[in-house]
Amino acid sequence: MIDKTGTDPLFQPLKLGNTELANRVLMSPLTRSRASQHGDVPNAMNLEYYRQRASAGLIISEATQVSPQGKGYAFTPGIHSEAQIAGWKAITDAVHEAGGRIHMQLWHVGRISHPDLQPNGETPVAPSAIRPEGAMTFISADSGMVEITEPRALDADEMPDIVEQFRIGAINAKKAGFDGVEVHAANGYLLDQFIKSGSNQRTDDFGGSLANRLRLPLMVTEAVIDVWGKDNVGVRISPTGSFNAMYDEDPLATFGEFAKQLNALGVAYIEVVEDSFQGNHAEGRPESVIDAVKNNFEGVYIANGNYLAEEARDRISKGRCDLVTFGRPFIANPDLPERFRDDAPLNEWDSGSFYGGDERGYTDYPFLEKTEA
């Protein structure tokens, strides 16, 4: 449906913390595994990809490892070296020159890694030494998918170093010219591993009770706020996601309380993975969990997961969310907001080119005018 009245919910401006958004069609953080393998440095191909999508109300960058220890897949970018900062700075400059806004997603994969990806072949770290059954990664262009090995449990005295990795990543994201940052506490990676009962079997101050399981994610978020200020920080969660062998026995209580604590810290937004093509324990959108998050959080609620335009409009209109991040539609449609505004047909995505490779399936999807021509 084309909105001729100027009241299309997707195209109402919104202030997200200190950032003015021109529309509510946001680009989801999307791992594409196309950074330069040597040094995990963003490159010219990545720059073109983000520049093409600058019409998004906000781009949230692909997950970006805050340290060498935080790496879990080949060809993913980092934000812990001068070369990486410079590579990202070229990207943020290009996005800004095109009129866009961009946040960096700060990432530590925890157990979703492999010794071949770790410094000096070390064992990946986790809250508990639990191997995620069925979780896979890839370590090179030729490796194919390989199984995740059993991680080692972090010692309590290592937690300050994890926090410091995120703090330095936040500092470097600021140097790289981002408009804000998102703490990745979703999708089965390190902070999600601490939050959820299925992956955190600790008996110290960082496990057991819900308060203890939330301790490290909240410490990380506080450290990032210290760098950026609360108005420029968001947090991503996936309460019912099953990707990477994740499970929580009471997601409503867990994420209702996490939302309450994040609200106390004053973060600008929570991005919620409601329904994922990568796996979800809930059928459809977990409305009771969504309510628990919304009822305990006064900031902006960003919805994510299998959305297209009409459902996004409907849920924004009904107050179920404020903004929506789009993933696969943005992969295949660099001009997605324009297509939604004009009710134009969408390019179909090629799932075979999601991860790794070259420009094919990355920067060669046609824009609307080229499609019509």
Query: What residue type is 354 in one-letter code?
Result: F
* Residue 360 burial class via C-beta count within 10 angstroms: exposed 0-12, middle 13-18, buried 19 and up: exposed
Report the alpha-carbon distance of residue 36 to residue 24 in Å, rounded.
31
Report the alpha-carbon distance of residue 202 to residue 209 in Å, rounded.
9
189 labelled catalytic: yes
> What is the SS3 assignment for 238?
coil
In 142-215, which ranges are E strands? 145-147, 152-153, 180-185
Measured CA to CA in angstroms, residue 355 lies from 34, 144, 331, 350 at distances of 7, 11, 11, 10
Q: How many CB atoms lie within 10 A of CB 329?
A: 21
Q: Are strands 14-16 and 19-21 parallel, antiparallel or unpaired?
A: antiparallel
Tokens of 50: 């983000």
Active site residue: 49, 189, 269, 355, which one?
A: 189
Contact 63/184 with Cβ under 8 angstroms?
yes
* Residues labelled as active-site residues: 189
